[in-house]
Amino acid sequence: MKEKQTHSITLESTCKITDEICLPDTKLPSVVIVGGGFAGLALVEKLKHKEVQVVLLDKNNFHQFQPLLYQVATSALEPDSIVFPFRKQINGYKNVFFRLAEVVEIQPDSNTILTNKGSVSYDYLVLATGTTTNFFGMDSVAENSLGMKDIRDSLNIRHMMLQNLEQAAITCDDKERDALTNFVIVGGGPAGVEMAGALAEFCKYILPKDYPEYPSSIMNIYLIEAIDELLGTMSDKASSKTLKYLEDLNVKVLLNEAVSNYDGNEVTTKSGKTILAKNLIWTAGVKGQFPKGIDEKHVVKGNRIKTDANLKVEGYENIFAIGDIAALISEERPKGHPQVAQAAIQQGKYLGNSILNLINNKPTQPFEYKDKGSLATVGKRKAVADLGKFKFAGYFAWLLWSVVHLMSISGFRNRLMVGFNWAVSYFTYEKSNRLIIRNFKPKSLIDNTEE
């Protein structure tokens, strides 16, 4: 372990902006965590008040509850309902320090990482950087559509939707109006299904009141999935029920279809179908994102980092990966663990215990994932649940989904805000956050302006 000058972990008043990010001097082992998602925060919780110095680095100063991004996108929730400041989260954790910085490179030989704000040294490095939207090399789709991976994406979707609906009320061109009011969601996993259901309810209950200029039937919602079923990781019952729920909401579900191109106005599929739409939301895939410095031979499909059974990155003694970015490949799980919150949280908790055991020269046990089941909602009072042998759908599944998600949100105030909004929506279907507070422009238009 590296030696530092004193045992004190009190921030010195003499800190200056230098090439090194200022941190308290200590002889305690240093654990640097890159990324404050579900995995990173679970690890922080395990290491708080322990005999280690924990440094959390993130390019944002907040944690975001990704399962509810679609509700921000469809005006059901405000963004501050599902984001929580890191500094509030770690308030009172005397051994935990947050630094706002984006890591750009790892230098394993010197146990150092480089960020856009300076360098940080470590004894143990944990990569919990998560994933980003994967457009599978389709540049035109990436330029003209929106992913849904963070709170900014959700706000972009909201502003795009509202701006286009307002423009549809202005234009006298029928073809243009159709394009502005057609919505295409690509990807039939939980994010795509939940987004489609929320948009369908917006169309059914909000559009007639807000936009009497045209009938709500003008708003068409398409859900495109490349395989022959929705929710491919869940049971056949969940898949078939979800399909029925969406069709009941007038969502046009296209199975065995894959998008090949999108120019901002027309979606083209590999089978030759075309859909006129100025709104395309991409939830069809993700890929790992992490700083350079990890040998490419340890990176596997999906741009995930291959780890051993103890979540240690192959080829390194003191670098670990957890959450969506980690690929613990075995005979049981040839594709690694599912990229879901419960796997990330379990890995974070496990690694906290494992690192403490390593520091104290105690043996560590391999990580074992316990699948607690899967849930997905398709609008109000409609959801599907796979809980081991129990597979059910309908109101009780929706109620369970609501309770699980509400209790998983960080902070009492945030839970209260979300719960209140849900209660109002339950009785009124009202979505009161239909505000355009900034002008949204597609990436393609921004790039053309810059040129």
Instruction: Give how far the C-alpha of residue 181 lies from the chain's centroid of Cα atoms, to the nearest Å.
Output: 26
Confidence of residue 10 (pLDDT cuts 50, 70, 90): very low
Percent share of the chain, pLDDT over 70? 93
pLDDT confidence band for 445 (50 / 70 / 90)? low
Q: Is 194 a catalytic residue?
A: yes
Closest by alpha carbon to 366, among 356, 351, 376? 351
pLDDT (average), residues 203-230 = 92
Q: If we measure between CA atoms, which residue out of 128, 48, 55, 127 comes closest to residue 97? A: 55
Instruction: Report the candidate in 51, 95, 109 with the shortest Cα–Cα distance to residue 318.
Output: 109
Specify whether the CB–CB gap between 282 and 94 falls below 8 A.
no
Answer positive or negative: Cα dihedral of 192, 261, 166, 168. Answer: negative
Map out the domains of the chain as residue ranges.
30-59+101-133+287-360, 139-284+374-435
| CATH level 3 topology of 139-284+374-435 | FAD/NAD(P)-binding domain (3.50.50)
Which pLDDT does position 436 carry in this prediction? 87
Q: What b/e readout covers 367-385, taking b as 16+ CB neighbours within 10 angstroms?
A: bebeeeebbbbbbbebbbb
Average pLDDT for 395-406: 94
Q: How far apart are the first and last CA of the chain?
A: 50
pTM metric for this prediction = 0.90
Cα 233 to Cα 395: distance, rounded to the nearest angstrom: 21
- Going by C-alpha positions, the residue among 60, 54, 55 that lies closest to residue 82 is 60
User: Once rounded to an integer, what is the mean pLDDT over residues 84-108?
Assistant: 96
Q: Is the pLDDT of residue 451 over 50?
A: no
Residue 268 burial (CB < 10 Å; 0-12/13-18/19+)? middle
> CA 141 to CA 277: how far, in whole Å?
13
Say if CB 54 and CB 100 are below 8 A apart.
no
The yes-or-no answer to whether 30-59+101-133+287-360 and 139-284+374-435 have a common fold is yes
In order, the DSSP letters of 264-283 are SSEEEETTS-EEE-SEEEE-
pLDDT at 14: 44
The single residue of 51, 105, 194, 430 carrying the catalytic annotation is 194
CA torsion 386→392→394→398, rounded to 10°?
-40
Predicted pLDDT at 447: 55
Average pLDDT of the segment spanning 392-400: 95
Mean pLDDT value across the chain: 91
- The CATH code of the domain at 30-59+101-133+287-360 is 3.50.50.60
